[in-house]
Amino acid sequence: MNHDALVGIAATAHAAVLLGALAAYYKFGDRTEIVARSLRGIDDTLRELRRLIAADLADALREDLIEDASVAAAVTAHAYVERPAPLFASERYRESVREFVERSTSRMVDCRSLVLGRDAWSRAASRLSWTLLTLVGYQACVAGLLVFLDKTGVVQFPDSLVIWAAAPTAVLILSCGLWLVLVQRKHDIISDIRQRYAE
C-alpha cells in the first residue's frame, strides 16, 4: 500500500471516529439538563427517605420523650434530693433507639447507597464527558493534520506515525466504553433504590 492510500484510509477512519465522537458527546457529554433532571429526582428520593427515617425515629421515641413522672432519689450525707430521672440514660430510651435502628436499617442503608451512587454516577459522567471531548479534539487534530498537511504535500508523515496515530484513538474509545458502563451501572443502582420509594 502506498503512502497516499494509507493517509486516505487513516484520514477517513479518523474523520468517521470524529463524527461518532461528536454524536456521542452530544448524547452523553452535554450534562446540563439531563444531569439536573436526574439529580432533582435523586434529591426528591433522598428527601422522602429522610422524611421516612425521621418519622420512624419520632414514632420510636414519642413515648420516651413524654415527660416521665418517675423520680430518682439521691441521698447524700447531708440531704435527700429528688430529681427527674435522666431520660437518655433510661433503659426504655435505649431499647427504643435499638428497635428504631433495627426497623429502619434498610432505609438508612438505601439513603447512604443513594448518596454514594449519586456521587459515583456524577464522577463517572464527568469523566465520560471529558474523555469524549478529548477524543473529539484528538480526532479533529489528527484528521486535520492528515488532510490539510499530508494530503496537500506540505508535510509527509512517516507511515509508522500514521499507523500509530490510531493507538490513542483506541485507548480513548475503550476509556469511553468503560466510563459509559460505569455510568449505566450507577444509574441502574440509583433507579432500583428510587423505584423502591416511588409513590
- Of 24-33, 106-115, 131-140, 149-158, the one with minimum mean pLDDT is 24-33
Stronger pLDDT, 81 or 155, i.e. the higher one: 155
- The answer to whether 152 and 34 have CB atoms below 8 angstroms apart is no
pLDDT of residue 139 exceeding 60: yes
pLDDT band at 85 (very low <50, low <70, confident <90, very high): low
Distance separating alpha carbons of residues 93 and 95, to the nearest angstrom? 5
> pLDDT value at position 31?
64
Percent over 70 (pLDDT), the chain: 84
* AA letter at 128: L
Q: State the alpha helices, DSSP H only, in 3-90.
A: 3-24, 32-65
- 196: how many CB neighbours lie within 10 A of its CB? 12
- Provide the grid cell at 194: 428510587
Number of structural domains in the chain: 1
- Residue 80: strand, helix, or coil: strand
What is the spatial distance between Cα 181 and Cα 179, in angstroms, rounded to a whole number?
A: 5
**SS3 annotation, 135-191:** HHHHHHHHHHHHHHHHCCCCCCCCHHHHHHCHHHHHHHHHHHHHHHHHHHHHHHHHH
The whole-model pTM stands at: 0.74
In terms of Cβ atoms closer than 10 Å to its own Cβ (0-12, 13-18, 19+), residue 91 is exposed
Check: CB of residue 136 under 8 Å from CB of residue 25: yes
Amino acid at 193: I
Which whole number is the average pLDDT over 51-73?
A: 73
- Residue 181: domain span: 3-196
Using left for φ > 0, alpha for ψ between -120 and 50, and beta otherwise, residue 153 falls in left
Which residues, at least 6 apart from 66, have a Cβ–Cβ distance to it below 8 Å? none
- pLDDT score at 21: 93
**How confident is the model over 18-50, as pLDDT tens digits?**
999 999 888 877 666 766 777 788 888 889 999
